[in-house]
Amino acid sequence: MRDIGIGVIGTGFMGKAHTFAYRAAGGIFPGSLQPVLQTVADINSSAAQQAAKQFGFKGWTSDWRELLADPAIEVISITTPNATHKEMSLAALAAGKHVHCEKPIAPDAATAEEMARAAQASGLVTQVGFNYIKNPVLKLAREMIANGELGEITGFRGVHAEDFMADPEVPYSWRFDRTGGAGAIADLGSHIIGMARFLLGPISEVNAELETVVKSRPIAPGASERRAVEVDDIARLTVRFARGCGGTIEANWVATGRKMQLGFELHGTKGALVYTQERLNELLYYPAGGNPKTTGFVRIESGPQHAPYGLFCVAPGHQLGFNDLKTIEMAEFLAAINGGPKAGPDFQEAWEIQKIVDTAIKSSQLRQWLPVA
Amino acid sequence: MRDIGIGVIGTGFMGKAHTFAYRAAGGIFPGSLQPVLQTVADINSSAAQQAAKQFGFKGWTSDWRELLADPAIEVISITTPNATHKEMSLAALAAGKHVHCEKPIAPDAATAEEMARAAQASGLVTQVGFNYIKNPVLKLAREMIANGELGEITGFRGVHAEDFMADPEVPYSWRFDRTGGAGAIADLGSHIIGMARFLLGPISEVNAELETVVKSRPIAPGASERRAVEVDDIARLTVRFARGCGGTIEANWVATGRKMQLGFELHGTKGALVYTQERLNELLYYPAGGNPKTTGFVRIESGPQHAPYGLFCVAPGHQLGFNDLKTIEMAEFLAAINGGPKAGPDFQEAWEIQKIVDTAIKSSQLRQWLPVA
Amino acid sequence: MRDIGIGVIGTGFMGKAHTFAYRAAGGIFPGSLQPVLQTVADINSSAAQQAAKQFGFKGWTSDWRELLADPAIEVISITTPNATHKEMSLAALAAGKHVHCEKPIAPDAATAEEMARAAQASGLVTQVGFNYIKNPVLKLAREMIANGELGEITGFRGVHAEDFMADPEVPYSWRFDRTGGAGAIADLGSHIIGMARFLLGPISEVNAELETVVKSRPIAPGASERRAVEVDDIARLTVRFARGCGGTIEANWVATGRKMQLGFELHGTKGALVYTQERLNELLYYPAGGNPKTTGFVRIESGPQHAPYGLFCVAPGHQLGFNDLKTIEMAEFLAAINGGPKAGPDFQEAWEIQKIVDTAIKSSQLRQWLPVA
Amino acid sequence: MRDIGIGVIGTGFMGKAHTFAYRAAGGIFPGSLQPVLQTVADINSSAAQQAAKQFGFKGWTSDWRELLADPAIEVISITTPNATHKEMSLAALAAGKHVHCEKPIAPDAATAEEMARAAQASGLVTQVGFNYIKNPVLKLAREMIANGELGEITGFRGVHAEDFMADPEVPYSWRFDRTGGAGAIADLGSHIIGMARFLLGPISEVNAELETVVKSRPIAPGASERRAVEVDDIARLTVRFARGCGGTIEANWVATGRKMQLGFELHGTKGALVYTQERLNELLYYPAGGNPKTTGFVRIESGPQHAPYGLFCVAPGHQLGFNDLKTIEMAEFLAAINGGPKAGPDFQEAWEIQKIVDTAIKSSQLRQWLPVA
């Protein structure tokens, strides 16, 4: 199991999460490439230095381009704000590095397409941080749908709602910048759109309404000056999947009380599934056609029977957390680099998701149904 | 506490439920008019006779018009199939009877308008069987919203999903007849639309997609001959309320596994509420702004502090059931007849709900947003 | 279906509940004897008069013995404080009346035995108000256990906890009087003991600790004078069932936050069941040995497939409430009077339960295991 | 932040979990000693070799004593079967190593005492793997109790139930060996006893019944020869805490359907808490005395406001998993070695827990209450 050099750009929430996941993946997945934390980059030198020390990188830099020039680094993780994703990704691919980029990779589908085509042309492995679908119980859900255990799917109801923007005094930031690709539809909607695609395949048509609930934000914490918000706080989509069934999707970052309401309910002619990230080790399953006296929604608890849970813990009931999902993501990324199956989501998939985001934005402007191009 | 004579038309599920509720209302609500079960009507004589005996009516008839001619009867309950509602209601009002009619009262808004105007002109009390909103915890929800305890409402997510039509072999019946006013949008959608209005007031705009999942049904149980279904199995609405906020509403009678998923989640700037009829004695409430360490969704359990629960049971924790909600409905109907407040929903409200149903159907045909006329 | 005259003693919570249940039973259960509310008795004349009017009794009295002398009355319901149960029950039986008495029927097993023997000798039907076990999902639970669907039962964990005595300022009342038979073990413990017996049969041995948490209570609301409390606030029992398995039972009326935590978890070699009265329309069932990927606790929702739910409502999902359980209780009582099966719990069963209560009290005093005599 | 050399004995479930946790702790906890994985030992050479490679140890050995002789190793983790704990721990302490030993550290209190005294005399840091109490929401629970936010505690109901021994064909192993310290009371009971002590302090008195449900086990998987089981499958304890309140504790490894039912409900005069490891990111809290209309159990979700959750994830809703609890455990162990606060549980605490286990066993044999020595 050879070593592989890692460079991480960004030292915030996701920079730490990526590093944690690389460290963990090698130990938890037998046969994994063994990540070596080479260099961490942050525009803020002291943040870079401190991260290097704490996270265990061999070196640090305030210039992310140094990572691209380093032959010891084969993999680049990009965890900086959205607006930087394109430049860094393209440069990293050009430098022959495998790229993991946080979502969304681009502010619009055209940019995502450019990146996807570059990735395709490079022959390198890309990965985008749609970590939630790495959950073993969602792999089970996908498998049950694919196997026909739920019959023909008749409807999907998806939502990703949180409340971190509910307070009107949360200040303006890059997350509110349309040119940076943000808004609830991009930030949260991309997760539930990606989950919908993971389970049910392509979405062919969208009818959306996007709404800005908090019309302006302080330009800084506590500032009296405010700036108009141009992106959506809530996006409500009615969609049709290429497989035939319809559904709804909501992205909402002003959903008071919700910290991680990412989930779905879907019905098929032979069964139904219900999931929420709020209880990520559970999947509810209704099997139609059983003994009417004792049939109902089954609370499936994540366990070693749901790979790769068993690599984390040989016993059921112990539960995975968010960082474990991130570890699975990284392990699958490393496995793909090592010649294994392409687990994705890669830049191509990110482009597909971004197309739906763009279609939703345009549909809302036109107030009409639109096909996904 | 004077007596009041009751006539009930129909002896099925709702005929029994109405009778039960009248019997119970007098004993449970102090000061209530005391219902006297005069006559039950059913086109099937033996059903009428048996119902009279079992439910305790003084008499029975196979001709519902006899009830209108009986001066001892002041109140008529109409629990027959939808297609009969108009004729019976108008005749009963013309005969000077107070009318309780099961929902939907009419196949379209124009008919509902005619009925609502007749009710208005008569000066009599009407009531329509939107029983679920009689729940004490929903009265609490409405009160909290009205009092501003949730701040400004920013979004509503409502659903009424069941699975009684999920099996493609469920035979064709009046419920699938568009001219009878049915389809999931009318049958179930009217409940969640009514609940949305009860909580948040008028809906001003609708964008809907209605879908027929099971394209044809056997003409009778087990029949090989099938009839095309013209009504929706699933209706997905995006709506805007007159108060400003937006939302979504789903009506779905092919939702495998769901027996009574009637509920909502709504967010405000100061709090949130979550409800499902599957646990009708509970209301989840998130109060924003509390101690961050110990804040979360509060599971409020129905109790005597939530009127009129205390009339059913002086102690908390004992729980109300569906028939109790129906009893509250009837008690409020009788109270209105007795000169008390008009609790509704009356024919006017049923017309308002039907307007939204009609708008949803038309919106789906045109595939565009439509104002509610 | 002949009429049957009913007399009710007491007009409080349970007096109202009994009356409601009699009124409802006749209409809901086809073929039921039709209860006629003859006379209500309350030592407080005005309460009796008002109850008669509101609940629909033909007459009222402040002297309960008048009911015994009335040949039109065949059934006596006793809903007065515990201390009166013996005298009234024995007198009613002596007068040839069928007797429904609220629980506990007696302050100790010796008294209960006397009453049970009198009932036995009389040939009349008795019933005791252990209403919770009338729940259709508990009938299902019992049936599953009896059918061996859970295999050999290996353990039982039962609890009945509420918080209505948690506040030390709740004043002294007959419920705190040992000679009246009260304390948490008698008031609440009898319910969960009865439920345990209903499901698993006789309890053969008990090891209990009873504890008085609030040592004294005001003699009246707001009074500064306090009276020592001699009964238990919490009783913790370890038990052994005659069938072989062991278990625990807790009765607790100072369980802050709990309004009706009456329930159990039981394990068998082939499955498990979990129930709580807090969600009385649900039963959780774990079937061992299924597909490991999709096995888990099944949330069974009460429906028409669980008799007699279907008599209350033909559709699933509508839910029963407490008063419906009381109605089932009364319907079964009337059916037994009419020559049908003895559904119980009758005075004999109440005696069996009281033996366990007495054994627990004595076990706690001696601090040792004791056989149930 | 200096490096610290780690040696791990054992490569099974817990060997992997310890290694994972050491790797993670250094990166996640700022200022942590940085663990260096020196050597892993396993009596099975190839297991040791493979573990070294996969987990990233510098070396491996089949002789655990080599670790003690290595000056580069400051910390020894013992994850081998219970029977080995004493010898290894004492030897490691004698060699001047800090020791982390999985629970239970000893088969009986006398042995645990010997080990605790050796630890005390050595001045070294010890830790025992009671990982579940490292949960941030349990730290919150403890803090709330200590601060008096729940008032005076009146009762505790604790359980640790799983079903991994429910199948009678699970073969005999060291877990069934009394001289190895096992049985449900030791294996699972020690966790819930430790949790009870963590929250409420010392237990002073015990009344227990231990029961062997499966009387014999195959001597090997599928073997027809069976061996009698001498340890308990279920232990039911009634306890009294030194602070005054009482409670119950159940340990059960034949609890069909339960994978990790480790939790409690406790009541105080001002509030209540409910927890289950099945949903380890939630704590239910009932605050007494609030607005009666809107008071109920609050579902507190783990977030950055509950240290050290924020070190794992800056956003709420992302959730911790079992391995994260283990990481917290190791980080606290390293911090104590680094001169920080003694977080425990250490050998002293393990002795205290073992005393209660021993008392329960003896109480069951004598069938009487016993003080905890």
> Which residues in chain C have Cβ-Cβ distances shorter than 8 Å to A299?
296-299
**CA angle (B250 as vertex; B248, B254 as ends), nearest 5:** 160
DSSP secondary structure string, B254-297? --TT-S-EEEEEEEESSEEEEEEGGGTTEEEEEETTS-TTT-EE
Q: How far is the CA of B5 from the CAs of A148, B68, B72, B73, C51, in angstroms?
A: 57, 12, 6, 4, 21
Residues of D125-137 as b/e, b for ≥16 C-beta within 10 angstroms? bbbbbbbbbbbbb
For position A175, what pLDDT does the model report? 86
Count H helices and E strands in chain C, helices first: 11, 17
Which of B275, B318, B327 would you mutate first to test chain C, the one with the most C CBs within 10 A?
B318
The chains found to touch C (3+ Cβ pairs under 8 angstroms) are: A, B, D
Tell me the C-alpha distance between A115 and A129, whole Å: 15
CA–CA separation, C144 and C271 (whole Å): 10
Shared-domain flag, residues D87 and D99: yes
User: Which spans in chain B are helix H?
Assistant: 13-28, 45-55, 65-69, 85-94, 109-122, 136-146, 184-187, 189-200, 309-312, 322-337, 347-366
Task: Please tell me which residue of chain D has the smallest CA distance to C368.
Answer: D368
Task: Check CB contact of C365 with chain D, cutoff 8 Å.
Answer: no
Domain of C242 in residue numbering reads as 134-371
Q: Position of tokens 């394209």?
A: B215
Residue B113 in contact with partner chain A when CB distance is under 8 A: no
- pLDDT tens digits for B186-243? 999 999 999 999 999 999 999 999 999 999 999 999 999 999 999 999 999 999 999 9
Asked whether residue B86 falls in the same domain as residue B159, the answer is: no
Closest-CA residue of chain C to B51: C27
Q: What is the pLDDT of residues A181-213, one digit of tens each?
A: 679 999 999 999 999 999 999 999 999 999 999
Q: Largest alpha-carbon pair distance within chain D? A: 66
- Gap between the Cα atoms of B290 and B271, Å rounded: 10
- Strand B75-78 versus strand B98-101 pairing type: parallel
Q: To 10 degrees, the CA torsion angle through B206, B209, B210, B213?
A: -160
**Which residues of D are less than 8 Å from C215 in CB distance?**
none
Which member of A287, A293, A300 has the closest CB to residue C306? A293
Q: Which two tokens stand for residue D223?
A: 């073997």
- The shortest C-alpha distance from B315 to chain C (Å) reads 8
Same domain, A171 and A214: yes
CA distance C295 to C303: 22
Interface test with B, best of D150, D293, D301 (most B CBs within 10 A): D293
What do you get for the CA distance between the two ends of chain A, in Å? 43
Q: Is A115 left (phi over 0), alpha (psi -120 to 50) or beta?
A: alpha
Same domain, C122 and C147: no
Q: Can you give the pLDDT of all 373 residues of chain C as single tens digits?
A: 799 999 999 999 899 999 999 989 988 998 899 999 999 999 999 999 999 988 889 999 999 999 999 999 999 999 998 889 999 999 999 999 999 999 999 999 999 999 999 999 999 999 999 999 999 999 999 999 999 999 999 999 999 999 999 999 999 988 888 777 679 999 999 999 999 999 999 999 999 999 999 999 999 999 999 999 999 999 999 999 999 999 999 999 999 999 999 999 999 999 999 999 999 999 999 999 999 999 999 999 999 999 999 999 999 999 999 999 999 999 999 999 999 999 889 999 999 999 999 999 999 999 999 999 8
**Domain containing D300 — which CATH number?**
3.30.360.10
State yes or no: pLDDT of B181 exceeds 80.
no
Tell the burial category of A26 from Cβ atoms under 10 Å away from its Cβ (0-12, 13-18, 19+).
Answer: buried
Position A180 pLDDT exceeds 80 = no
Instruction: Note the pTM of the prediction, 2 decimals.
Output: 0.97
Helices (H) and strands (E) in chain B, counts: 11, 17
- Whether A367 has its CB under 8 Å from any CB of chain B: the answer is yes
- A63 near A49, Cβ under 8 Å? no
B318 contacts chain C (CB < 8 A): yes
Is residue C6 within 8 A of residue C37, CB to CB? The reply is: yes
Q: What is the pLDDT of residues B14-56, one digit of tens each?
A: 999 999 999 899 889 988 999 999 999 999 999 999 999 888 8
Interface test with C, best of B1, B8, B14, B54 (most C CBs within 10 A): B54
Question: What is the per-residue DSSP string for A190-229?
Answer: HHHHHHHHHHH--EEEEEEEEE-SS-EEESSTT-S-EEE-
Is C300 within 8 Å of A296 when comparing Cβ atoms? yes
Length of chain C: 373
Same domain, C123 and C166: no
Q: What is the mean pLDDT of residues D99-114?
A: 95
A126 in the same domain as A140: no
Secondary structure percentages of chain B, helix, strand, coil, to 5: 35, 25, 35
In the block, tokens 């449970």 appear at B28
Distances B317 to C55, C280, C307, D332 between C-alpha atoms, Å: 23, 10, 23, 43
Bridge partners of residue C216, in order along the sequence: C228
User: Residue C174 has what pLDDT?
Assistant: 83
Decide: helix, strand or coil at residue B357. Answer: helix
For chain B, the average pLDDT equals: 96
**Do residues B339 and B260 share a domain?**
yes
SS3 content of chain C, % helix, strand, coil (to 5): 35, 25, 35
Classified as helix, coil or strand, B174 is helix
Return contacts of D365-373, CB within 8 angstroms, 24+ apart. D367/C207, D367/C368, D367/C369, D367/D209, D368/C367, D368/C368, D368/D207, D369/C367, D369/D205, D369/D206, D369/D207, D370/D205, D370/D206, D370/D207, D371/D204, D371/D205, D372/D202, D372/D203, D372/D204, D372/D205, D372/D206, D373/D109
Residue B175's pLDDT is 86
Query: For residues C342-372, b (16+ Cβ closer than 10 Å) or e, as one string?
Result: ebbbbbbbbbbbbbbbbbbbebbeeeebbeb
Six token digits for residue A250: 């909501």
- Token pair listed for C97: 């009346």
CA C340 to chain centre: 21
| Chain centroid offset of residue B218 CA | 28
Describe chain A by its helix, strand, coil percentages, rounded to 5. 35, 25, 35
Distance CA D353, CA D360 (A): 11
Q: Which residues contact D224 (CB under 8 A, 6 or more apart)?
A: D218
- Interchain CB distance below 8 Å, A301 and C296: yes
A256 contacts: CB under 8 Å, gap ≥ 6:
A163, A166, B154, B267, B268, B269, B270, B271, B272, B286, B288
Q: Write out the two tokens for C222.
A: 């707001």
Range 214-273 of D in CB contact (< 8 A) with B? none
Is residue A179 predicted with pLDDT exceeding 90? no
Same domain, C183 and C120: no
Nearest to D108 by CA among D87, D129, D86: D86
pLDDT reported for residue D64: 97
For A240-260, what is each residue's pLDDT tens digit? Answer: 999 999 999 999 999 999 999
Q: Which residues of D touch B299 (CB under 8 A)?
A: 296-299
Q: Distances in Å between the alpha carbon of A42 and those of A10, A107, C98, D258?
A: 5, 22, 86, 47
Examine the pLDDT at D158 and tell me if it is beyond 80. yes
Residues D185 and D223 in one domain: yes
Q: How far apart are CA D262 and CA C122, in angstroms?
A: 51
Of B246, B288, B367, the CB nearest to A256: B288
Taking the CA of residue A219 and the nearest CA in chain C, the distance in Å comes to 44
A-C interface: how many C-beta pairs under 8 angstroms?
46
Residues from chain C that touch B53, judged by Cβ atoms under 8 A, are: 1
The letter for the amino acid at C20 is F
- Nearest-Cα distance to chain B for A190, in Å, is 19
In angstroms, the separation between the Cα of residue B151 and the nearest Cα of chain A is 11
Q: Bridge partners of A252?
A: A161, A234
- Residue A134: phi and psi, rounded to 5, are -80, -5
Burial of C69 (0-12, 13-18, 19+ CB in 10 A): exposed
> D120 with D207, same domain?
no
Asked which of B85, B106, B131 is the last residue of a domain, the reply is B131
**Distance from C-alpha of D358 to C-alpha of D111, rounded to nearest angstrom:** 11
Q: Which residues of D299-332 are buried (b: 16+ CB within 10 A; e: fewer)?
A: bbbbbbbbebbebbbeebbbbbbbbbbbbbbbbb
Count the residues in chain A. Answer: 373
- Please count the helices (runs of H) and the strands (runs of E) in chain A: 11, 17
Name the domain count of chain A: 2
Residue in A295, A299, A303 nearest the CB of C297? A299
**Which residues does residue B31 pair with via DSSP β-bridges, in sequence order?**
none
Residues B187 and B280 in one domain: yes
Residue at token pair 């099945």: D278
Cβ contact A296–C298 (<8 Å): yes
Residues of A in contact with C292 (CB under 8 A): 303, 305
Strand partners, A208: A237
Q: Minimal CA–CA distance to A39: which of A63, A20, A13, A12?
A: A63
Q: Across residues B327-336, what is the average pLDDT?
A: 97
Between A159, A258, A297, which is nearest B257 by CB?
Answer: A297
Last residue of a domain, one of B131, B149, B171: B131
- Are A127 and A345 within 8 A, CB to CB? yes
Residue C187 amino acid letter: D
State which of B131, B157, B182 marks the end of a domain: B131
Mutation pick from A293, A302, A305, A309 vs chain C, by most beta carbons of C within 10 Å, is A293
**Chain CA centroid to CA A281, Å:** 18
Closest residue, chain B, to C21 (C-alpha): B24
Residue B100 sits in a domain whose CATH number is 3.40.50.720
Q: From the list A16, A315, A320, which residue is nearest D321 (CB)?
A: A320
Query: CA angle at residue C96 from C127 to C35, to 5 degrees?
Result: 60
Between chain B and chain C, the number of residue pairs with CB atoms below 8 A apart is 115
C354 shares a domain with C256: yes
Interval B52-105: pLDDT, tens: 988 889 999 999 999 999 999 999 999 998 889 999 999 999 999 999 999 999
pLDDT at residue D82, rounded to an integer: 86
